[in-house]
Amino acid sequence: MTLSSPTHLLSASIHRLKRNARLLSRSDGIPLHAALDRIAANEGFEAWSLMVSRAVAIPPAAKLFASLSPGDLVLIGARPRQGKTLMSLQLAVEAMKSGHRSVFFTLEYTGDEVLDRLRAIGGEAMLSRGLFAYDSSDAISADYVIRALDAPPRGTLAIIDYLQLLDQRRDHPDLMTQVRALRSFARQRGVILVFIAQIDRAYDPAAKPFPDAGDIRLPNPLDLALFDRTCFLNQGEIHFDSGR
């Protein structure tokens, strides 16, 4: 990263980096200005003030997408109305910007609602390229998704809204079996699979800032180590984790 460029991408928002600096100041017993400059140095800048004037934050979806590889399974968890569907659609837009196909499997939204959301986040130009598909079949399961994708090109991104949907019908295999089948399919075909996950009502945001794997509502057992990336949202903040 060169300091002569007019703008630079940050690893997180200015707000989050400033909070990290406050924590560093307390933990290392150094003045806040020194902690701010140290954080700036980690981002490739000589000083905090220079960083603020020249830098732009990487959009969370772009940051997450850049970390993904074909074959990855991603889990996005949050309480209702915290932005998990929006985050997944932003990932779809990032995939389409890279020339890859995106498919959205859901029973939660109509096709018009999904398209309206994509347009609202700047995905309209991508739609005209024919890279997006929507599926609202009530038969959605691992086998259905695999058949519907139909020998997908490597790099295809598919969203399942939501993880628990796979476990709703008694004539479907158990959730663990389905996710393992989808993981095997993703690895073989180079598909990125994004699962939107519901959070248990017992999660208390006053007790911890983000839900985590233990807060995912699971009616039946599921090994969460099957996911390569997890992303939890709460009150406009995002926490990324990696199984790697």
100 and 177 co-located in one domain = yes
Please count the other Cβ atoms lying within 10 Å of the Cβ belonging to residue 143.
Answer: 15
Average pLDDT, the chain: 89
Which of 137, 56, 55, 66 shows the shortest CA–CA distance to 104?
Answer: 137
132 and 31 co-located in one domain = no
- The alpha helices in the chain, defined as continuous H runs, are 14-28, 32-42, 48-54, 60-66, 84-97, 111-120, 124-127, 142-149, 175-189
* 3 located within any domain: no
117-134 pLDDT, tens digit each: 988 888 888 888 889 999
140-191 pLDDT, tens digit each: 999 999 999 989 999 999 999 999 999 888 899 999 999 999 999 999 999 9
Query: Please, which pLDDT band fits residue 60 given cuts at 50, 70 and 90?
Result: confident
Please count the other Cβ atoms lying within 10 Å of the Cβ belonging to residue 55.
Answer: 19
The CATH number for 100's domain is 3.40.50.300
- DSSP assignment letter at 174: P
Most trustworthy range by pLDDT among 165-169, 191-195, 214-218: 191-195
Q: What is the pLDDT of residue 9?
A: 63
65 and 54 co-located in one domain = no
Q: What is the pLDDT of residue 1?
A: 25
Whether the predicted model's global pTM rises above the 0.85 cut: no
Q: What is the pLDDT of residue 12?
A: 73
83 and 126 co-located in one domain = yes
Q: What is the pLDDT of residue 242?
A: 62
Domain that holds residue 164: 61-242
Written as six digits, the tokens of 16 are 């989050």
Out of 25, 42, 58, a domain closes at 58
Q: Dihedral sign for Cα 94, 14, 39, 231, please.
A: negative
65 and 52 co-located in one domain = no
What distances in angstroms separate CA 16 from CA 21, 158, 238, one per listed residue?
Answer: 9, 30, 10
Q: How many domains does the chain have?
A: 2
151 and 199 co-located in one domain = yes
